[in-house]
Homo-oligomer: A and B are copies of this chain.
Amino acid sequence: MSRNGVAVVSGGLDSVTMLYDGLFNRGWRPTVVSFNYGQRHVKEIDAAREVCGLLGLAHYEVDLEDYGKILSYSGSALVDPEVKVPEGRYDGENMKSTVVPNRNMTMLSLATGICIAQKGSFVATAVHAGDHAIYPDCRPDFIGAFAQTVRLANEGFLVGDFSVEAPFVYKTKTDIARLAAELGVPFHKTWSCYVGKDVHCGRCGTCVERLEAIHDAGVESLDETVYKDRNYWKEALGR
């Protein structure tokens, strides 16, 4: 039996792979939601929309652009045009500027509203182990506390059990790249680059992380993505 729920999908490799995995391996029948919070790499949402079209899934875009402007006071590199996106190693101290305050809690809360409205029983997020160091809202503790808070907030209005599905929370990005290859995810139709120009830059933290994972999974030959600089990641990581 398939499960009705809402998947938060940015359009990046992780969340798109989660969608394929949910659909083909986990019996999900998800509605997909993406968030425009004024991120400079908003074209990731086009990627999400296109993939949902391929998979025949309903896709909603929630417009938080005005909200993102309020947040820009925070100095987050993802929403403030004055702050330069850091290059190089993804897990470095410098990636802290890419934190959007309370992002996953907010996106999952909005997704939960849609889930309940549609009488679904789960929300899904593609957080993974590689995010734990920098992003506290990608850790298992947060996921568990969030689910419990949802149950309290909506007692009597939930259809059966409610769960937060985070299938990659203990997986590495390399695991995800390997799974993506197995599932036939079209790598080049996903968007990761935080800079958000015509093609993937290959130099920002998330490009470096993506290229390393695809390399380490041994699936480079399947990645048709165009990168402006496909080799910088090795230098950045000293490999």
Contact B71 A102 (CB under 8 A): no
- Asked if A155 is an interface residue, CB under 8 A from chain B, the answer is yes
Secondary structure dominating the interface of A: helix
Indicate whether A141 reaches chain B with its CB closer than 8 angstroms: yes
| B residues in contact with A63, CB < 8 Å | 63, 66-67
Residues of chain A from 34 to 73 with CB closer than 8 A to chain B in the complex: 60, 62-64, 66-67, 70-73
Query: Shortest Cβ distance from A35 into chain B, in angstroms?
Result: 10
Q: How far is the CB of A30 from chain B (nearest CB, A)?
A: 14
Specify which of A67, A102, A137 lies most central, judged by the most chain B CB atoms within 10 Å of its CB: A102
Chain B residue nearest in CB terms to A61: B66
One complex includes copies of this chain to the number of: 2
Inter-chain contact B109/A105, CB cutoff 8 Å: yes
Contact A102 B141 (CB under 8 A): no
| Range class of the A interface residue count | 35 or more
Taking a contact as CB atoms closer than 8 A, the residue among B74, B112, B117 that contacts A117 in the complex is: B74
Interface string of A104-117 (1 = CB under 8 A from B): 11100110111111
A152 touches B (CB below 8 Å): yes
Interface segment among A143-151, A170-178, A214-222, A223-231: the answer is A143-151
Please name the residue on chain B nearest to A108 by beta carbon: B109
User: Is A103 in the interface zone, CB < 8 Å from B?
Assistant: yes
Across the interface, A156 reaches (CB within 8 A) one of B66, B118, B136, B148, namely B136
Chain A interface residues (CB < 8 Å from chain B) = 60, 62-64, 66-67, 70-74, 76, 99-106, 109-110, 112-118, 136-137, 139, 141-142, 145-146, 148-150, 152-157
For this complex, 20 residue pairs linking A to B, each with C-beta atoms less than 8 Å apart, are: A60-B70, A62-B66, A63-B63, A72-B117, A73-B117, A100-B113, A101-B113, A101-B114, A101-B117, A102-B116, A102-B153, A102-B154, A105-B153, A106-B106, A136-B153, A136-B155, A141-B152, A142-B149, A145-B149, A148-B149
Give the 4 A-B residue pairs with the shortest CB-CB distance, closest first: A74-B117, A101-B116, A136-B155, A102-B113
